[in-house]
Structures are given as structure tokens and as C-alpha cells.
Structure 1
Amino acid sequence: MTKRLALIDMGTNTFHLLITEVAANGNRTDFVKTKLPVRLGQGGISKGTIAPEAYERALKTLKDFRKQIDEYNVETVRAMATSMVRNASNGEDFIKDIYKQTDIQVEVIDGAREAELIYYGVRSAGVLDEQTSLIMDIGGGSVEFILCNNHEISWKQSFEVGAQRLMDNFFTADPIPDAQVAAEKQFLAEQLQPLTEAVARYKPARLVGASGTFDTLCDIDALSRGDNTRQLSQPAASALEVADYYKIHQQLLHKTHEERLAIPGMLEMRVDMIVLASILVDFVLETYQLQEIRVSAYALKEGVLAQALQTM
């Protein structure tokens, strides 16, 4: 028996749609896999509200998603909203408007549930093993950290330090001034104190980056070596050498918007936010002395899929 599902991840920066069909033997056929820079947090995240322009962009995107879902005669639709919607004063009205205009019922998930679903998604990418890993998923609104192995979660927490929030606070000039890099790291040291304590306890062997920023870092790294197969094949699991990451990080810190946009592999929707996200990656590698980076192309929506398949 096959099952056709549509999974929507309404992130603070990017909306994802996955339309897939899963056979009884677990084989998967993806019909639609798209990500769009809706920027739900733009202009409102620091005020705790979804700004009117972002509200309209999101509704338009979800109407387009609805058309594609109907074209493929999907039986089951699961839509998840995260940090931006759960913290916005007009989040409830937004969810009601989505249902009225698209007939899509959105689940607003809390940070702990988001972290758990990310874990299941990452685990299904095959990047975890018996050793303890630190998963990091950098969103626009929140960042999820999970200490785990391929069997279980030891510790998880969501922090409201996503790239759009960091950008609003620290991106005062372009290229970013050294003083602002230091200020962001100081802020992270304070905000991530619970993570620091958990890392000391569970001693992860590596960092596992989930989707988004890390996909782009891997694309830039591959293209810098003349390897264009990655963007065609989009592997579920990748590795990124720490030294190669730091080469890219230095470019991100010292280039302007236009110069970053010219880097092969850079996505326009990530060109500014990736600077703040990369400072966060640097902070985590340096503070917790991690010498290995693995990357999972799977995250939240694949976690929802993995759990949905268990009930098939």
C-alpha cells in the first residue's frame, strides 16, 4: 500500500514543501521538493509580530503550495510552524487565516518538539552512529541543539537565537565589524549556558549541522574544488572539513553583500543571514572544541515523515 503525503515546514526564513509517495517497503518517490525565501520574520521578529508584508507573502506561498498539493491528489497534509509563529502576537490570527484561505491546518510546535523532530530527520539521513553527536539546526528564529546518538536523545533544547534575530541585533555594517562579531559571541556565551553545561556532561565527538546554512556551506566548499555533482545529487549525508569551513567563514566575514553573492554556491536568500549563522558555527566549534563536522540535508520535515511512516 502506498501513501502520498505533503509536508510543509514554515520556518522563520524559508518555507519548505515536500510532496512524496511512500511504498509499503519504505521506498520513497519525491514529486515536489521546494524551498522558498518567504522571510516570515522580516520586519517583525524583533517586535514579536508578523509584519503585514511577510503575512501576505506567506499566505501567497501557501496558496501556491495548496495548488501543488491538489495537483498530486495528496491524502495527508502536515504543516508545521515554528519559532516565528509560536512567538508572534498575531500568530493565532495567522493560523486561522491560513486555514480559511487554503484549508491547510497548521500545527504550531514548541521548541522541544521541534528539536525531537529534527533528531528523527537527521537520524534518517544516516549521519549518526554510536558516538555522541551535537546536532545544530540554525533557523531564522530559533536554533535547536540535540545531544544524541543513533539510538536516543540524551539532551535537547531550542534557543531563540536564530539568524534573523542575530541579524537584527548585530549586523550593523557590511562587512560585519570585528566588534559586532565579538558582541555576538559574547551574547551566545550567555544565552547558550545550558548547552555549555550539557556538552560538558555528554562530551560530543562531532558537530552535525542540519540543512539550511550547512547545505550552503557544503555547496560552496564543493564548488570551490570544482565539484558540481553535489548540487545535482543533493546527498542526504555529507562531511565538511573544519579547515574548509574556516576558509569559507573568513570570506563571509570580510566580503560585502555583493561579493558574498558572487561566491559560487551562495543562495541569494541566505547571503546576509549566513554571516551571523557562520559566527554561531564558529562559536560552537571553538567553545566545545569539536574537530569534525557532518551535515544532514534532512531536518524537521523528514522527521515528521519518519514518524508518520511508523504509523503506516
Structure 2
Amino acid sequence: MIIRKLAAIDIGSNAVRLLVHNVIEHEDKPPAFKKSALIRVPVRLGEDSFTKGEISENSLQRLIKTMKSFDLLMDIYGVEKYMATATSALREARNGDEVVAAVLQESGIGIEIIDGKKEAAIIASTDLKELIKKDRAYLYVDVGGGSTEFTIFSSGELKVSKSFKIGTVRILEDLVEEELWDVVQDWISANLKGETKVEIIGSGGNINKLHKMSGRKIGQPLSYIWLNAQYHFLNSMEYEDRISELGLNQDRADVIIPAAKIFLSAAKWSGAKKIHVPKIGLADGMIKTLYYQEN
């Protein structure tokens, strides 16, 4: 038996995450992937990128400190290989390339800025196929701070995928025009035309948190009815009360509401009544991509 350690760094618009995986290799058996550690730091790059068009010096320094700490942690965990990607916040920042260069110089960590198409492809390389049944269609919804990736599976196969600039931080900053919601609705309706049985697979920290708050067991889906009621309950509370009474983190207590709105909209437009929450996403896909690139 050989245990290898791989890491994924996901630099999103709301937070930066380090995921460490143990990959257990046995002779004549497929490799087993086990999460070893997940560290999340609320460096909200999207607030700069989406409102000012560039990453501020303060945010850059916070990102550099985060990357330095991740470099040390990967060394402690014995990580042999890592992959670091940045999505919409750095993709849209005028100084995105300069930020990547500064992080590399200060921390030694190389970051790849990926587009929505590659982001969706990496997500699709996760263990989603284990959940997907051939007798129904699935709308995979990965909600981030700056964008949401929608992927449709039909008859057990990936049919189409698209990224839209609707994300939780962008909504909070009032940067999503009403027309874009209509565009997303039309895209979902057109690509699910003729499908009579549709279910949603949700990804991202907010839907994971909502699933935990529901008290449902791992593998048990959320219902549209429950999510709709929870959305209105959360929306009726003050921001401070969501922190003090519900125990939500400061950087979760605001974005969880627009995230719920995105999932509810997707469910309404697709006709889905169930939302599966497998708790896998971009970082998990990065681990698989990293492993199979060399095997």
C-alpha cells in the first residue's frame, strides 16, 4: 500500500481554500481518495474585483499571507504535488496577472487563472457519476462568489455546461442585472426541454452549510419546500442575528441568502423538487485532475 498526499488550492471570490487529500494506492485496486484536511480563509477578493475592477494592496497582502501559510501547511502534511487555481475574482481583475506574479514571488505558489469552461470541466471530473442515474436528468449548480457554473447531465452523460456571472458576492454588491437572470432561465429551459424528471446537484460552501443546518443525513437530499422556507426564514433575520443566534460565520451570514436564491431559482426553472448535496466541488476535481495527469 502506498499513501500519496495531494493538495488543491481554490482561490474564489469569497474565500480561499486548501484541501489536502490522501490517495491510497493498492495493487490491483482503484485508488481511494480520502480528505485529510480542509482550511478555509475568508479573503473576499470579489469585493475588490467586482466593485473596483482590481485587487487592492490590502487584499493582495492578505492573499500572500494566506498562500505562505498554505505553503507551510503543505510542507507539514507532506504534500508531494499541488494545484492552485483562481476563478472569477482574479479573472476579472485588471491586475490579476500582477497578483499571481506577486504571490509566486512571495510564497512560491504558482496560480493558474482558469475560465468558466475549464472550471466546469474540472468540477465534472469529480465523483458525480456515482450519483447520476440514467433515467433522469440532473442540473449541477456550483455557486461561487463571482459566478455560478451550470452543468446538465442527461442519460448518464454530460450534455452541456456554462458559466454565468451570477455569484453571491456579486449579488450582494448589486452587480447582477435582472436581464441576466432571464438569460439563465432561458438557457436552463432550452437545455432541459423534453426532460420530465429533473433533480439538482448542489455544490459550494453555502449549500453544504444549508444541508448541515437542515439536520438531514449525508446523502439525503434537500427538498425545494424546505429550502424555500429556510430562505425566507434567513431573509427575515438581521445579519447580526444570523451570526449570534444561528452561529454562522461573518463571511457566511450574508452570502448564504443570495446562494439560496440561486438554488431556488434553478430548481424553479428546471422543475426540480430535490437538491442533492454530495459536498464535492472544484477542489475535489482539482485533486482528481492532478492525480490522473500523471497516472
**TM-score w.r.t. structure 2 length?**
0.89
**1:244-285 Cα shifts (integer Å, max 9, x gaps):** 212211112211102222453633321111111222222222
Inter-partner Cα distance in structure 1 for 2:256 and 2:62: 22
Other-structure match for 2:198:
205
Inter-partner Cα distance in structure 1 for 2:111 and 2:105: 11
Inter-partner Cα distance in structure 1 for 2:178 and 2:131: 28
Q: 2:61 aligns with which of 56, 60, 73?
A: 56
Matching of residues 113-192 of structure 1 within 5 Å = 113-121=118-126, 123=128, 126-130=130-134, 131-148=136-153, 151-169=156-174, 187-192=180-185
Shift of 1:147: 0.2
Inter-partner Cα distance in structure 2 for 1:256 and 1:164: 18
Contact 2:148/2:167, CA 8 A, preserved across alignment: yes
Q: 1:150 to 1:13 in 2, by over 3 A?
A: farther
Please tell me the residue identity of whatever aligns with 2:13: T
Q: Secondary structure at the match of 1:2?
A: strand
Q: 1:88 to 1:255 in 2, by over 3 A?
A: same
Which residues of structure 2 form unaligned runs of 5+?
none
Inter-partner Cα distance in structure 2 for 1:238 and 1:215: 12
Matching of residues 1-312 of structure 1 within 5 Å = 1-25=2-26, 26-121=31-126, 123=128, 126-130=130-134, 131-148=136-153, 151-169=156-174, 187-200=180-193, 205-222=198-215, 235=218, 237-264=219-246, 266-310=248-292, 311-312=294-295
Shift of 1:71: 1.4
**1:42-73 Cα shifts (integer Å, max 9, x gaps):** 23323321122222211111111011011123
Inter-partner Cα distance in structure 2 for 1:188 and 1:196: 12
Contact 1:12/1:141, CA 8 A, preserved across alignment: yes
Aligned residues: 288
RMSD (CA atoms): 2.3
Inter-partner Cα distance in structure 1 for 2:246 and 2:229: 14
**1:76-112 Cα shifts (integer Å, max 9, x gaps):** 1110111111111000001111111111111111101
Please tell me the residue identity of whatever aligns with 1:19: V
Counting aligned pairs with the same residue, the percent is: 25
Inter-partner Cα distance in structure 2 for 1:38 and 1:301: 17
Q: 1:299 to 1:149 in 2, by over 3 A?
A: farther
Contact 2:49/2:89, CA 8 A, preserved across alignment: no
Please tell me the residue identity of whatever aligns with 2:202: G
Inter-partner Cα distance in structure 1 for 2:287 and 2:17: 13
**TM-score w.r.t. structure 1 length?**
0.84
Inter-partner Cα distance in structure 1 for 2:59 and 2:220: 33
Q: Secondary structure at the match of 1:169?
A: coil
Stretch deviating more after TM superposition (86-95 or 13-22):
13-22
